[in-house]
Every structure is written in C-alpha cells, then in structure tokens.
Structure 1
Amino acid sequence: MEPRSGPASRRHVPWNRLLLAVSLLTFWTPPTTAQLTIETMPPLAAEGSDVLLLAHNVAKNPLGYAWYRGERVDNSQLIGSYRVATNATTKGPAHSGRETLYPNGTLLIQSVTQEDTGFYTLLVTNDDLQTERPTGHLHVHPVLPIPVITSNNSKPWEHKDTVVLTCGPETQNTSYMWWISNQSLPKSTRLKLSEDKRTLTVVTVTRKEKGPYVCETRNPVSISRSDPFTLDVLYPVARPSLQVSNTTVPEHEGPVVLTCLTDETGVSIRWLFKGQSLLLADRMTLSSDNSTLTIDPVSREDAGAYQCEVSNRGNSSRSGPLG
C-alpha cells in the first residue's frame, strides 16, 4: 500500500512573535541626519554691532566651507572659503574686511551696516564630496537718532489756527508715539494722528494744547525720545484796570501806590504817563513784576493820567487813564 499523499507540513509561528515583529517594524525607523541650518546671533542686529551667522548640525569631518552673499553660490559674491586640511582661509571678492570664517563653519561680521542686510549662503563640502547649501538672512536695523519735533506754525492764534507737529526724521520700520504734558494723548476730536502716527494735527489750538509735546521713535533695536516742544499759543489780552492807594496827596508827601490789575499770566507790564512811556524819576520805584508803581514823595510834576499796558507775544491792551 502506497503512503497517503497530503500537503507538506507547515511550521506554526506563535501569534505573539508575529505581533512583536510587526511592532518592531512599526516603531523602528532608520536614523536621520540633522539638517544643516544657519542661525543669526543676535537675532535682531543693530547697526554697528557684531553679528555671528552660526552653522548648526555640520557633518563630521567636512573638507571645507565657503560663504556667499545672496541666495545662491556665485563666485563673484564669495566672501571667503576655509579648507580644513590646511587650516587656510581664502578671501573672496565680496569680502569687506570685516568678515571672519571660523573652523566650525561660523561667519563673524563686525560693525554691521544696513548694507549688510540680505541673504547669506553657506556651502559645506563633506568628506564624501557631497555638498550642503543652507541659506540664512541678516536684517540690520539702524540705531535711531534723537527725534526732533517741528511745527508748521510757530505762533498760532488761539481758537483760530490749526497746528501740524511732525516727528522727524522719517525712518523705515519705525513706530511713533506722542505725549502731551507727560501724559498719553487724550481722546479729542481736535487731536488727529496720521496713519503712521508721525504727524500730529491740533485743530483750532487752545492754550490747553500748548504742551509740552514729546514724540518717541521705536524700532526692534532702539528707542529714542525728543526734547520737549511747547507751542507759543497767542491769544487776545484782556484789558487791565488801575487801582490807586490815594488820588489826593499833598505835595512832598506820600507814598502813592498804583497797581495794575490783570488776570492774565505770562504777560509783561509797562507804565505810561500822559500817553507816553513813563520815565522813572528818583522818587519812583517798580515792583519786580512791574505790576506796582510807588511814588514817594509826590511832586506836582506827577499830576496827570497814568495807564498800564499788559502784553504777550501776540498783542497788548491798555487800561483806562487814571488821574
């Protein structure tokens, strides 16, 4: 009798081993090489400072490096190259005299200017002759000068003139802020800022808006404030009045005190006698602010009409005559 034919025997694999194999295939991945990158340090570069373009994740045992201005490898834009085997650095046509290449691939740029703003490309040649070309960007910001406030009207009239204040100079990537009397600008329909906030318009100015004003400029690397600026707001001067201590005084006696009364501040006062500027005699004295005239003793030559005049930079006003 011939033996019964049948299927070949199969070796059974336990299910838990299959599960382990699948798990290993699922979670195991071949190691990857970290990507070569460039970091700018400091990230915000101020004009005149020193900046490093740091090369991260450089492969082991590279043959050499080369740095270029721009986003591509162009020999006319070569800053310099470094050969590891000889520890030799060769300067390129784009070298300004301020660049230094280090053996780890880092580039130092000293005393950067705004012209240094742009892209930089690093070419790394590895020991297998493969190359890597990461690109970084450097943005150099100017250190802002002290701003200056200018006005379109140096002597505006109250309730009449509109004043435009400008914070200068104008610089790119700069924000502007304003203060009045050491406070942020109040909400007012008569205070209007331009879109870039560099210009402040004061509509129909009053003495309340005379200031002082300060403007501030900011960019990513610096902050600067202007000197205070005060508007010389002109306004009509109210008519003063005269007060006298005694209108009838015997000759050679005294004193007689005349006082100029005014509610105005920041005004100057002068005295008139018979419509002309008063010439002070030895018997006459004025107070420090000229508001009081004392005559002692009195002479018949002093008889007549006295007036006082108050004035600011805009106009003046006289009292009625007394005497």
Structure 2
Amino acid sequence: MEFPAASALRGRVPWSGLLLAVFLLTFWIPPTAARFAIVSTSAVEGQDVILRLRNTPPNVTRFIWYKGIEMKYHNFIGSRAWNHSEYLTGPEYSGREEINLEGSLIIRNVTVREQGVYIVVAVLSKSPSVRGFGWLRVYRPLNMPTLLASNTTVTENEDAVVMTCHTDKLHQLVIQCYESAAEGEDEAIP
C-alpha cells in the first residue's frame, strides 16, 4: 500500500521542499572565513621589509609579534595596542622593528638572521584571539664576478692566456673555457 500523496508526486519534486532545503543549507552552514595570516615575503639583505597582514579581523585591540614557531617570551618581538600608543618590546626586538597601526611588522635593514617563521596574534575585544603565520626569506646580494686575463693580445697557437675569475667567497662560480682542437670539435681546457 502506498502513501496517498506519493502517487500524485511520482516523478516530480515539490518546489516548496526544495526551496526549504536550499534555505536551510544556506543559513545552517556558515561560510568558510578567510584565514588571518602574514603575507610571506622575500627580501635582499639590507632592504627594509614590511610583513603585511591578510584578512585582519575587525575589533582588534592589540597586535603581538613573535619570531619562531613558539609563542614564548624569548621569541617575543613586540606588542602594540591599537587604540592608544602603548608599545612593548621583548628579547627579539633589535631596535629595527616597528609595528604600525595596521598591525604589520616593519623591519629596517633586514639581515639573514631575521629569516624564518613569524607569528602574529590579534587580540580581539569581544572574541578569542586569532593567530596568523608567515615566512620571511632573506637572500644575500650577489656580487658581479670580475674576470681578468693575463694577456689580451695573443697570437693563435703561440701565446697562452690565463683567465682568473674573482668572486665573493660565499658563492661558487664555475667557468669552463674551450679551445678549438680541430674543425667541428671542441676540447675543454683544464
């Protein structure tokens, strides 16, 4: 025996039921919020860097910055209250860091020592605090190599030339020179 209303609705979906389902799904499933984070940044040693914040929540009362993966006092850089000028510094503060009113961390004359993970905590007025993570990469500048020749005027198959390449000690540079041994063949010079 069949439910009496089932025969009348066979093969069709009642619009009111479908609309109710869409309505409930829309309001019962909260949208995924954009995650609060530090925009990961790359810089060359000696530049000024701004570690900007992405998706900063509303009603922030304080920003707290840490260097490293732990929110411990020995990693504490500084803290800035948003609504007044209270500014605290910690052991990781070198005098070159500044937290601006948007909560971003400015590091002046960045060094390789500052490379790594950073954590920022946004303290909210009426909600739990939120944390954001980001990475700072710092590269050393590359110096242009200098190539010196022992002799610039040579006669083919009679004179020798010694090529010397000077670079900074941090980076290795490999140079290979080739001499034509015969038609169509190249031979590496040791």
- TM-score higher than 0.5: yes
Distance, in Å, in 2 between the alignment partners of 1:168 and 1:19 is 72
Asked whether the equivalents of residues 45 and 51 of structure 1 are also in contact (C-alpha less than 8 Å), the reply is yes
Q: CA deviation at 1:158?
A: 4.2
Matched residue type, 1:16: W
Distance, in Å, in 2 between the alignment partners of 1:119 and 1:71 is 6
Matched residue type, 2:118: Y
Asked whether the equivalents of residues 116 and 138 of structure 1 are also in contact (C-alpha less than 8 Å), the reply is yes
SS of the residue corresponding to residue 134 of structure 1 reads strand
Which sections of structure 2, spanning at least 5 residues, go unmatched?
A: 182-190
Say if 1:146 and 1:204 are closer, same or farther in 2 by CA, change over 3 A: closer
SS of the residue corresponding to residue 66 of structure 2 reads strand
SS of the residue corresponding to residue 100 of structure 1 reads strand
**Residue in structure 2 matched with residue 55 of structure 1 by the alignment:** 53
SS of the residue corresponding to residue 109 of structure 2 reads coil
SS of the residue corresponding to residue 30 of structure 1 reads coil
Matches within 5 A, 1:99-248: 99-128=97-126, 130-149=128-147, 154=150, 158=157, 165-166=164-165, 168-171=167-170, 198-202=173-177
Q: CA deviation at 1:32?
A: 3.8
Asked whether the equivalents of residues 36 and 55 of structure 2 are also in contact (C-alpha less than 8 Å), the reply is yes
Say if 1:27 and 1:86 are closer, same or farther in 2 by CA, change over 3 A: closer
Distance, in Å, in 1 between the alignment partners of 2:178 and 2:55 is 60
Q: CA deviation at 1:97?
A: 0.8
CA RMSD, aligned part only? 3.4
Greater share of helix = 2
Asked whether the equivalents of residues 68 and 120 of structure 1 are also in contact (C-alpha less than 8 Å), the reply is yes
**Residue in structure 2 matched with residue 25 of structure 1 by the alignment:** 24
Percent sequence identity over aligned pairs? 26
SS of the residue corresponding to residue 21 of structure 1 reads helix
Asked whether the equivalents of residues 147 and 163 of structure 2 are also in contact (C-alpha less than 8 Å), the reply is no
Distance, in Å, in 1 between the alignment partners of 2:120 and 2:148 is 47
Asked whether the equivalents of residues 159 and 204 of structure 1 are also in contact (C-alpha less than 8 Å), the reply is no
Distance, in Å, in 2 between the alignment partners of 1:115 and 1:146 is 24
Aligned residues: 168
Matched residue type, 2:16: R
Q: CA deviation at 1:45?
A: 1.3
Distance, in Å, in 2 between the alignment partners of 1:46 and 1:118 is 14
Q: TM-score, normalization: structure 2?
A: 0.71
**Residue in structure 1 matched with residue 43 of structure 2 by the alignment:** 45
Q: CA deviation at 1:88?
A: 0.6
Question: 1:139-184 deviations in whole A, cap 9, x for unaligned?
Answer: 1222322322257xx4799489796654522545xxxxxxxxxxxx
Say if 1:125 and 1:201 are closer, same or farther in 2 by CA, change over 3 A: same
**Residue in structure 2 matched with residue 316 of structure 1 by the alignment:** none
Which sections of structure 1, spanning at least 5 residues, go unmatched?
A: 1-9, 173-195, 207-323
Runs of 4+ in 1 over 6 A off after TM superposition: 159-162
